[in-house]
Amino acid sequence: MKRLMAAVLLLAFASAPSLARAATMNVGPAAPAAVAESPGEAQSPTPANAASGDTADYAAREAAAPALSNFKGGSVVVFIGGGTLLIVLIIVLIVLVL
């Protein structure tokens, strides 16, 4: 019985990081920026009030490679992480012990 309880606790502690919430608790939703459009004016890829750091770099890379907007996904490859392998190993060990 002690081994079963230890295995259950180990499984619970191992999966705790994946169950944690990644968002901040006290921040409300961001309001969308209003963009005025005129018929003869081309829209800029970034809003006028955007931060100049990473946003400007991303916009420059996006403007340099317009063909990437035609990317179609569809890969059938399934990646299995180390955490998944650890959980499967623990379950197999529990089955073998019992």
Tell me which residue of 76, 58, 78 sits closest to 68, measured CA to CA.
Answer: 58
Once rounded to an integer, what is the mean pLDDT over residues 47-73?
A: 76
Domain locations in the chain? 1-14+85-98
Residues of the chain above pLDDT 90, percent: 12
Q: What is the pLDDT of residue 88?
A: 93
pLDDT at 56: 80
Exposure class string for 16-30: b at 16+ Cβ within 10 A, else e: eeeeeeeeeeeeeee
Return the number of other C-beta atoms located less than 10 Å from residue 62's C-beta.
13
pLDDT digits (tens, 9 = 90+) for 9-53: 888 888 776 666 555 566 565 655 555 555 555 555 545 555 566
pTM: 0.27
